[in-house]
Amino acid sequence: MPVNVKKGESENDFISRCIGEEVGAGYEQSQAAAICYSYWDKENMSKITDTTSKVMARVAYDTKFRGINLKDENDPCTAGYEQYGMKDMDGREVPNCIPIQD
């Protein structure tokens, strides 16, 4: 179940709390971090009111988490993608998921 951001909670406080809860639910530290950062980004997107900014935020989110399967640590990439090593994303290592080539 998603961890919700509490009113007035800072990003650092939320990420720390969220990672603890996700690790407690059985996810590894790096997987929990990716899940929590996605929750934080979605929460911030939900507060945007102007259409252009909302579209730009969604494009940035989709680019940031493209191909990453946030909930399955055994298969880090979504269908149609395969892992090709790791990449740095905002100071943390995440799976580098690329489209499967025919």
Is position 18 within any domain? yes
> Residue 85 belongs to what domain range?
11-99
Is position 1 within any domain? no
Is position 79 within any domain? yes
For the chain, first and last CA: distance in Å?
35
Is position 2 within any domain? no
What would the pLDDT profile of 20-79 be if each residue is shown by its tens digit?
999 998 888 888 888 899 899 888 888 888 889 888 888 888 788 776 666 666 677 777
**For residue 12, what pLDDT is reported?**
93
Q: How many C-beta atoms surround the C-beta of residue 85 within 10 A?
A: 8
Is position 87 within any domain? yes
Is position 63 within any domain? yes
Residues 38 and 34: their CA atoms lie apart, in Å, by 6
Number of domains in the chain: 1
Q: Please, how many CA atoms are within 13 Å of residue 26, restricted to the half-sphere of its CB? A: 5
**For residue 16, what pLDDT is reported?**
94
Is position 67 within any domain? yes
Is position 75 within any domain? yes
